[in-house]
Structure 1
Amino acid sequence: MKKTNLLVTISLICAIGFSFGQRKKKDAVEVQTTEFIAQTPKLVVGIVVDQMRYDYLTRFWNQYGEGGFKRMVNEGFNCKNHHFNYAPTSTGPGHASVYTGTSPAMHGIIGNDWYDKEADKMVYCAGDDTMTSVGTNSAAGQMSPHRMLTTTITDQLRLHTQQRGKVIGVALKDRGAILPAGHSANAAYWFEGGATGNWITSSYYMDALPQWVVDFNASDAVEQYKKPWTTLRPIETYVESGTDANSYEGLQKGETTTTFPHDFPKLWETNGEFELLRRSPYGNSMTTDFALAALEGEDLGKDAITDFLAVSYSSTDYVGHFYGVNSKEIEDTYIRLDQDLARLFSELDEKVGEGEYTVFLTADHAAINVPAYLQDQKIPAGYLDMNGMKEKFNEFLKYKYGTTEMVKNLSNYQLFLDHRILSNLDIDIVIAQEEMAKELLSYEGIGQVYTGHQMWANEYTRGIPYILQNGYNQKRSGDVLIVPNPGFISYGKTGSTHGSPQIYDTHSPLLLFGKGIKQGSTVNRTEIPDIAPTISALLGIAFPNGTTGKPIGEVLEFE
């Protein structure tokens, strides 16, 4: 009897031990599985550097400190072959594509401004006259993301967290703050400039500025930058850029030379007062100041629910347009931006916690070198004579069709036709598109021309037509798409620009570091729409609803 009881007792102990062991093992597996499903940083910081070419990272490498660009590369992941997969390559489409995980063909932001075929007028990508300005009496706040047709990663975060995860957008440019912040953001703020130098917003987000923004505007945070722009380091050490005195750069009103220093206090009144700061690295410093104020004022990254801070550095674009990509000014701007990034990351370490946040940095487009400079280096380049082309094209239309009225608009290298007039003239739209394309292709400086019908009828997988098709929205884009020769632009003789499907406009950086990001690099091709699904996969949230990109698997820690 005792022997039997002993056996029963031993069996029960073994059973209990086995059951407990199994439960422990199951719990461990569940925890491990959760870690492999998602990472939950307290804060995601998305950084878009307006008009940043990839080679700014390598060209100015020896000028950078350890806490900015180098920290992202050394601690994080560098996608060295990162490209925009669409055109036009401009600010509105760029910011929208980074955050929606798709291209203009899907999200609908086909330019900064474009011809609205239904309204028969030009529209602005973030303009919304149904809204009122907040923080100013001007119309500068009449903005919203209503023209963006899909959700963003920031929208998906808001939905995933039942609106508990905060989303704040910050940029000098309204579109650089509004489009990344998405449709359901807590707020987006941008810089009014002019005589006020205030940060403002739209009634789309709120009825009045929060107190921390009121306090920031009332401080001397912006006024401190009303000072001469001198190089941060001795100018003779800026060997990564061209000569300071040259004919390829713009002149501020009141200046007689393009050289440093630029006496902003002296130039203040004649150059739009606070507007002048946009065309200097001080604009990026102001943006960092405000982003850090938002971090504190909105308590971002303070709990376990992920927040999102979308920051766009716009001054790099203003400086690039005005002085060109090979200027001493652009080099100084990036050296100073590197310091601003280091300052931002240091504050994130302190306020959110090192290893508790995730950052990505990319661009909204790159830029071409000044064609006049390229010509002087014996490199094929030039400028399109758009007025001459229009005159010649009108002559063709009159000769071929007897009228010019079927052409409604020419913008963003796209020709918009009036289909009703063509129908009344009994002209087949597909034939008309092809005839006009062939005519335009014969003009000097034009390298390729495609028709809307080609965009509809084919599925391109590589080359220029692939890039054009990703930028072609069936409802919003034009009937004929024009591609200038490499090195040719429609722009002034000074400064750089962008917008084409050429590689100098598409090759931009993508750096990621922080929680959930591996250390390493790749030369495999990655594309702008891949960013949003990569961050979505990291967070374990739904992809934006128009996503066409794919997660970059080698970037993620749990891959």
Structure 2
Amino acid sequence: MKKTLPLFLFLLISGSCVAHTVNSSLTDSRPKLVVGIVVDQMRYDYLTRFASKFGEGGFMRLINEGFNCKNNHFNYVPTYTGPGHASVYTGTTPKYHGIISNNWYDKEIKSSVYCAQDDEVNSVGTESSAGKMSPQRMLTTSFADENRLFTQMRGKTIGIALKDRGAILPAGHTANTAYWFHGKDEGVWITSSYYRNDLPKWVSDFNSSDAVESYLKVWNTLLPVDTYVESGEDQNDFERGFKGKTTATFPYDLATLSTQNGGFDILKTTPFGNSITMDFALAALKGEALGQDDDTDVLAISFSSTDYVGHNFGVNSKEVEDTYIRLDKDLERLFIYLDNNIGKGEYTVFLTSDHGAVEVPAYLESVNIPAGYLDYNSRKALFQKFLMDTYGTTELVENVSNNQIFLNKVKLKELDLNIHDVEQALVDEQISYPNIAKVYTATTMNSTNFTTGIEVLLQNGYNQKRSGDVIVVDDIAHISYSKKGSTHGSGLNYDTHVPLLFFGAGIKQGETFDKTVIPDIAPTISALLGISFPNGSTGKPLGFVFD
């Protein structure tokens, strides 16, 4: 008589075989290198607006050969650089990773802190304090951290950006090194003693070359300026420009203008800042031998100049268009290098942004679209009068920043006031002010489970230990900024809708209009690598992008 295995034993054995096959497949397909690209302040529509000016080897290669998530959004407020970079790599929101803004009021030390600030470390590569930075304020791991743990620290992680926070937060806590650019009168790439106590030879060699200085040249449009029909007029009333030049129009003599615009720092506000970043990234790939063994390495690159140019000239400027046309060429340089030195099909790339940006409100007003500017001084005067009239003191409020009000808990106790009652009173007062759309209490954020609307984004950005007691939401397209240039930070589509492109090993060609969110990126890359998700991850792997 033929004997049959008990069902549970059959399933156990079968499951073991399947698991072995899947794991083997994952191991075999693991890329040698993951390159994460964050383009600072890149709205999604830049991909489509400037498409006719792109070549085939940069953005269009990612789109044509990779997977395009066309409805990708940030799912929290505020949409700033620090939180954005942290969220991309940790797979979660400020509620959990703790980077609630670029700067925020620390309720424990009663002072403002910077997201990458670390007074316990030293600068490396400069005598200035610009290197006193680390990821110590980020509370969770990044997928780069998890890859380091998975490979027993053999897989390398290098972070690179003009901005310190754009290099440090993506690279995570266990990075081999993060490098950022110190301009002024030095024009060098630096790091901190959090990572190492000296610069490796390849970095010193780069700094001692004329690579950076060579970009202090004339910035003119790469293509004839009259072909930039995707942007507004070159001369208009909505751009700041540079000190020493009366109009914000091409061309810009950077060598001459640098003396009044921060020395080498002027390069940040030109497309050449991105080119310098790419030059340095290519040097890092070679100097660190990234992608040259069986343990996956991670290179985190952030292109910061797009943000500086956007702030200075605005979303609709020819300067922004030229910056993206030139960035397209720089991306092509990167992909050619990776093809030749890592190998086609041996590396994986994703490209996204840390936030978008609003059109210059003054421009929107000029074409009859509701927009405007916030009068914080008037708002402050109204609020202080309310506090005096109601409570007899303004000391009840400890700090107002990042659209949040922080209450003085000692003063509340001294006046025998109930914090929940005071929170609600402040909500009722603030909602009556011009250009305030919504106001919420910390109690509401902590006790209500929102599922739709701006309230979900506020809740995802709210960290109970670090955020304020009252949260204010301003009117659509109303900003606190100069009337020239633009900014970001809201939970509206112009700030939340950003590109998400996957390309390379393990990625199929395709596109989707299904909604994806920024925290989905890290678990997707983790799933591709077969590693643990970042420890605070709340996103989901986007299985439909896999080949």
TM-score, L = length of structure 2: 0.96
Would the aligned equivalents of 1:38 and 1:537 in 2 still touch at CA under 8 Å?
A: no
Bigger mean CA deviation after superposition, 421-430 or 466-475: 421-430
Partner of 2:500: 510
Query: What SS is found at the alignment partner of 2:78?
Result: coil
Aligned equivalents of 1:355 and 1:91: distance in 2?
A: 31
The alignment yields a C-alpha RMSD, in angstroms, of 1.3
1:530-545 alignment, distance < 5 Å:
530-545=520-535
1:242 partnered with 2:232:
yes
Aligned equivalents of 2:433 and 2:328: distance in 1?
A: 43
2:206 aligns with one of 209, 212, 216: 216
Partner of 1:525: 515
Aligned equivalents of 1:405 and 1:27: distance in 2?
A: 67
1:306 aligns with one of 284, 292, 296: 296
Partner of 2:386: 396
Bigger mean CA deviation after superposition, 501-510 or 374-383: 501-510
Cα 1:27–1:454 shift into 2, 3 Å: closer
Deviations 1:93-139 (A, max 9, x none): 00000000000000000000000000000000000010000000000
Aligned equivalents of 1:160 and 1:37: distance in 2?
A: 12
Shift of 1:447: 0.8
Partner of 1:333: 323
Partner of 2:109: 119
Query: What SS is found at the alignment partner of 2:29?
Result: coil
Bigger mean CA deviation after superposition, 103-112 or 499-508: 499-508
Shift of 1:160: 0.2
Aligned equivalents of 1:523 and 1:29: distance in 2?
A: 32
Aligned equivalents of 2:27 and 2:399: distance in 1?
A: 49
1:336-485 alignment, distance < 5 Å:
336-485=326-475
Cα 1:218–1:50 shift into 2, 3 Å: same
Shift of 1:437: 1.2
Q: Percent identity, please.
A: 63
Bigger mean CA deviation after superposition, 420-429 or 401-410: 420-429
Would the aligned equivalents of 1:38 and 1:539 in 2 still touch at CA under 8 Å?
A: no
Partner of 2:164: 174
Q: Which amino acid aligns with 2:280?
A: F
Query: What SS is found at the alignment partner of 1:80?
Result: strand
Aligned equivalents of 1:184 and 1:377: distance in 2?
A: 50
Bigger mean CA deviation after superposition, 27-36 or 459-468: 27-36
Aligned equivalents of 1:122 and 1:263: distance in 2?
A: 37
Query: What SS is found at the alignment partner of 2:233?
Result: coil
Aligned equivalents of 1:28 and 1:110: distance in 2?
A: 43
Partner of 2:307: 317
Would the aligned equivalents of 1:193 and 1:273 in 2 still touch at CA under 8 Å?
A: yes
Partner of 1:39: 29
Query: What SS is found at the alignment partner of 1:268?
Result: helix
Partner of 2:490: 500
Shift of 1:251: 2.7
Deviations 1:463-509 (A, max 9, x none): 10000000000000001111111111111111110011111110101
Q: Which amino acid aligns with 2:404?
A: Q
Would the aligned equivalents of 1:143 and 1:202 in 2 still touch at CA under 8 Å?
A: yes
Cα 1:429–1:28 shift into 2, 3 Å: closer
Aligned equivalents of 2:392 and 2:19: distance in 1?
A: 76
Q: Which amino acid aligns with 1:289?
A: D
Query: What SS is found at the alignment partner of 1:522?
Result: strand
Q: Which amino acid aligns with 2:183?
A: G
Aligned equivalents of 1:440 and 1:244: distance in 2?
A: 40
1:200 partnered with 2:212:
no
Aligned equivalents of 2:216 and 2:23: distance in 1?
A: 54
Aligned equivalents of 1:173 and 1:103: distance in 2?
A: 20
Partner of 2:65: 75
Query: How many residues are aligned here?
Result: 532
Would the aligned equivalents of 1:38 and 1:540 in 2 still touch at CA under 8 Å?
A: no
Partner of 1:255: 245
1:289 partnered with 2:279:
yes
Partner of 2:48: 58
Query: What SS is found at the alignment partner of 1:231?
Result: coil
Shift of 1:28: 11
Aligned equivalents of 1:473 and 1:268: distance in 2?
A: 41
Larger radius of gyration: 1
Partner of 1:231: 221
Aligned equivalents of 1:266 and 1:351: distance in 2?
A: 38
Query: What SS is found at the alignment partner of 2:218?
Result: coil
Shift of 1:34: 2.1
Aligned equivalents of 1:176 and 1:170: distance in 2?
A: 7
Would the aligned equivalents of 1:41 and 1:515 in 2 still touch at CA under 8 Å?
A: yes
Would the aligned equivalents of 1:38 and 1:538 in 2 still touch at CA under 8 Å?
A: no
Aligned equivalents of 1:27 and 1:220: distance in 2?
A: 57
Q: Which runs of 5+ in 1 are unaligned?
A: 1-25
Bigger mean CA deviation after superposition, 37-46 or 463-472: 37-46
Deviations 1:44-83 (A, max 9, x none): 0000000000000001010100000000000000001100
Q: Which amino acid aligns with 2:369?
A: I
Would the aligned equivalents of 1:83 and 1:507 in 2 still touch at CA under 8 Å?
A: yes
Aligned equivalents of 1:104 and 1:30: distance in 2?
A: 37
